[in-house]
Amino acid sequence: MTQTYDAIVIGAGVSGLYSLYRLRELGLDTRVFEAGTGLGGTWYWNRYPGARFDSESYTYQYSFSEELIDEWEWSEHFAAQPEIERYLHFVADKFDLKPHIELNARVATVRYDDDKHWTVETEDGRRARARFVIAATGLLSAHQLPDYEGVEDFAGQSLHTARWPKETIDFSGKRVGIIGSGPTAVQIIQEIAAEAGHLFVFQRTANWCTPLRNRPIDPEEQRDLKARAAEIFEICKRTFAGFLHGEHSVPGEGVPKVERWAHYQELYDEGGFALWLGNYSDTFTNAEIAGEVAEFLAEKIRERVDDPETAEKLIPKSHTFGTKRCPGERDYYEQFNRDNVSLIDLRATPITRITEDGIETGDTHRDLDVIIYATGFQALTGELMRMDIYGEGGRSLREHWSDGPKTNLGIQFSGFPNMFAVLGPHNPATFCNITRCAENNVDWIVGCIRYMRENGYETVVTTAEAEEAWTQRCYDSLKGLLIEQMQDSWFFGTNNDENIRGRFLLFAGGVPLYREIFADVAAKGYEGFELR
């Protein structure tokens, strides 16, 4: 039996829950299909030890309900996964969202029909139809395993951080290998190093990690944060990346080095993204200033790691500071002072294969009981491409993106009427606070649907010209930024399908400009979109 709704949302994470809330508020009969057995999206799947916010909890929370803000209290400045998952359940219960969500329902096919409806089918055969489809599939959702020879041969326990089991894993006395050294690996290494019999860290690319400085929120802070919630959200709207940390008003060039160094220390002590996003205004454009921040952090690493050779391996050599999102750490570097932790530099000795009982690098084999894959995602396009999506004339999204993804505003694709992606390619999400970006995009999408209903339109679809123009604008937004020189990152689809690799997948113009563009397009009657 095929159920018919006004709108279908794919995904029940932060974006999907807010989409459901706003669509129901508009009066649309809406159904959510979620692949997991529980809601939460990122915060359902990523339940590995140490998983937590890298942005302040009170900036990540929803802003749409004062009552919700008053009722929920965060226990830490950077909340951990269990608390975040509880928060999302609290939201779903408070606004009666759960009856409209189907769990364990991974979408396989999304097809546009001649009667201007979309038919959605799940892997287990459930079918539903709707005029509107909102893909709230997240930007880092499509996890991946590396293509090493022998991955399937390992006889011990294999774990991926993005598909972590709900049961507690006991690492005590075990030989554990973790592949990866990005933000996820940094978090988990800090948690399990003391427990493991021996932890082998297989690192391909070192990262510039900065202190998180997490701490509990005391009652006085709690009252202050609630009282200033509206002010905090307004600050996030004005800053380049949607966080509390706005860049310094002056460039570092011209400031005496001793003053610059003192400024770096202040930001380092502040924690969070302060050093990355609250630094001098030319940190992202001036190689000398970025290099100096890198030098500052390299000194910190050398001070904190006892063995000079290990310290040098942990200092990035392939990229300067600021060209990747900085992992937040607590005592990451100190873990490498433990006798039971070994760092293997995969640049020097790459993994040749996974064996039945461990990992082989060069002519060295390390026996392991557990392998943890912290090997990332097919960013932004991954979950969209893993579904079979067919638009007008039966043209697939995979075919449409055969030369790389093309979008208008990061939310729509030409030839796919009434289909929206909340955080598709070509939005500023990786530079910004995800919830702030998601709320902005969902509000625009729902506003567009409201406009259609009020003016008698049935469909909206971006024009091919506007799509090409926005895609080019995203590429152009890189000009003058040091990030352009660092293409070995998921910003450029490193882990994605071959046709996407090397394409810049984001908009680097900043959150305020992005919001301004959205508002301007709507004010001009959705210029660049064809309303039928």
Note the pLDDT tens digit of each residue in 449-462: 999 999 999 999 99
The answer to whether residues 317 and 196 belong to one domain is: no
At residue 431, the pLDDT reads 66
pLDDT exceeds 90 at position 501: no
pLDDT exceeds 70 at position 430: no
Least confident of 14-18, 156-160, 452-456, 502-506: 502-506
Alpha-carbon distances of 259 from 249, 262, 263, 279, 395, rounded to whole Å: 15, 5, 6, 12, 58
Q: What is the dihedral of CA 70, 72, 75, 77, to 10 degrees?
A: -70
Mean pLDDT score, 483-509: 77
The answer to whether residues 509 and 396 belong to one domain is: yes
pLDDT exceeds 90 at position 531: yes
At residue 493, the pLDDT reads 64
Domain ends where: 303, 325, 347? 325
The answer to whether residues 97 and 33 belong to one domain is: yes
Residue 274 Cα to chain centre, angstroms: 19
pLDDT exceeds 70 at position 341: yes
Tell me the residue range of the domain where 287 lies.
210-325
Predicted confidence (pLDDT) per residue in 116-166, tens digit: 999 999 999 999 999 999 999 987 777 888 889 999 999 999 999 999 999
Predicted confidence (pLDDT) per residue in 248-259, tens digit: 789 999 999 999
Mean pLDDT score, 72-90: 98
Q: What is the mean pLDDT of the chain?
A: 94
Confidence of residue 494 (pLDDT cuts 50, 70, 90): low
Q: Which two tokens stand for residue 202?
A: 């297989």
SS3 at position 381? coil
Specify the CATH number for the domain of residue 183.
Answer: 3.50.50.60
The answer to whether residues 392 and 527 belong to one domain is: yes
The answer to whether residues 256 and 399 belong to one domain is: no
pLDDT exceeds 70 at position 4: yes
Cβ neighbours around 4 below 10 Å, total = 14
The answer to whether residues 71 and 127 belong to one domain is: yes
The answer to whether residues 138 and 202 belong to one domain is: no
The answer to whether residues 336 and 352 belong to one domain is: yes
Please state the pTM of the whole predicted model.
Answer: 0.95
For the chain, the 3-state helix, strand and coil shares in percent, each to the nearest 5, are: 35, 20, 45
Number of domains in the chain: 3
Predicted confidence (pLDDT) per residue in 38-62, tens digit: 999 999 999 999 999 999 999 999 9
At residue 489, the pLDDT reads 72
The answer to whether residues 97 and 215 belong to one domain is: no
At residue 428, the pLDDT reads 86
Predicted confidence (pLDDT) per residue in 222-280, tens digit: 999 999 999 999 999 999 888 888 877 899 999 999 999 999 999 999 999 999 999 99
Q: Which residue has the tokens 């100190």?
A: 334
In angstroms and rounded to an integer, the radius of gyration of the C-alpha atoms of the chain is 23
Quickly list H helices, 95-242: 183-192, 219-227, 229-238
The answer to whether residues 45 and 185 belong to one domain is: no
Nearest-angstrom CA–CA distance, 493 and 502: 6
The answer to whether residues 242 and 387 belong to one domain is: no
Mean pLDDT score, 65-93: 98
Nearest-angstrom CA–CA distance, 290 and 322: 7
The answer to whether residues 277 and 316 belong to one domain is: yes
Top-confidence range, 144-153, 186-195, 481-490: 186-195
